[in-house]
Structure 1
Amino acid sequence: MPTILNAYLRFGTSAREAMSFYQSALGGDLTLNPYRDSGVPHDPAIDDLVLHGMLTTPGGLVLMGADSGREEDAPVGVSLALSGDDDIELTGYFDQLSAGGTVQEPLTRAPWGDTFGMFIDKFGVSWMVSISAGGR
């Protein structure tokens, strides 16, 4: 089995909302495991928070996340990047995932020929979308 690198996002208390939002934009199957059902010792105040969540899409995207139960700072110096040549799919992801967030750079033709854009979603996660020149 090859080694795989996946993103694992940490949220203060909004993992359920965030992961459901990502599922609505990316599709796929979402599993959310609350602390209550984990068998892990924890403060009962966080029973309903997500100990582990995983979104898996038919196209092979995997995104994981969890609640920490405390306020989390947005990650600095890290962006999730979606890339490929399917203009319609990637433009749709950009539009849906950036809704309610801040578009830093709209999807436009970049000097290297691809279409590229960046945004911070409504949960503070930084994203980049790149559509190869053959896709547009």
Structure 2
Amino acid sequence: MPILNPYLSFRDTARQALEFYHGVLGGSLEIDTFGSYPDMGFEPGEGDLVMHGQLTTDDGLTLMASDTPSSMDYQPAQGISVSLSGNESDRLHAVWDGLSEGGMAIMPLAPAPWGGEFGMLVDRFGITWMVNVNGE
């Protein structure tokens, strides 16, 4: 069965973002840099940038990210949100609190008309998140 995973692009902050998400979500983090693959033709000085990073949490979430090298056009994410939902209220509230640090709530996490709770925020890296705590 195919798996759908968010893959976030940054200009040069993928490492900081992945480390932040690791602190919020837990799990294990793997980071490969452009310098690990010298035959790829990256620009001098970009060897420490993230070619591919993957965060895998103990509860099965996978989030991937990379830096966009200067030789490629970078378009910040627009019209896309990372959505996180489930029944684990305590876990989702903790994730909301963590992602909110240095970010901005668009819609506070609060009771939703369809039941449960829902909120939207933009984190400190400019990524929009939607958090839905399922109702009973």
Which TM bucket (shorter chain)? over 0.9
Counterpart in 1 of 2:103? 101
User: What is the CA deviation profile of residues 56-106 of structure 1, one whole-angstrom value per residue up to 9, with x for unaligned ones?
Assistant: 011110000000134844311110011001110000000001110110111
Q: Is the 8 A contact 2:107 2:119 kept in 1?
A: yes
1:79 aligns with 2:81: yes
C-alpha distance in 1, partners of 2:74/2:133?
Answer: 31
User: What is the CA deviation profile of residues 99-124 of structure 1, one whole-angstrom value per residue up to 9, with x for unaligned ones?
Assistant: 10110111110111120000000000
- Which structure 1 segments of 5+ residues have no match? none
Counterpart in 2 of 1:57? 57
TM score, norm. by length of structure 2: 0.93
User: Within 5 Å, which residues of 2 pair with 1:1-136?
Assistant: 2-39=1-38, 40-70=40-70, 72-134=74-136
Report the Cα offset of residue 38 of structure 1: 1.5
- Which structure 2 segments of 5+ residues have no match? none
C-alpha distance in 1, partners of 2:76/2:122?
Answer: 10
C-alpha distance in 1, partners of 2:100/2:37?
Answer: 32
Report the Cα offset of residue 25 of structure 1: 0.2
> What is the number of equivalent residue pairs in this alignment?
133
TM score, norm. by length of structure 1: 0.93
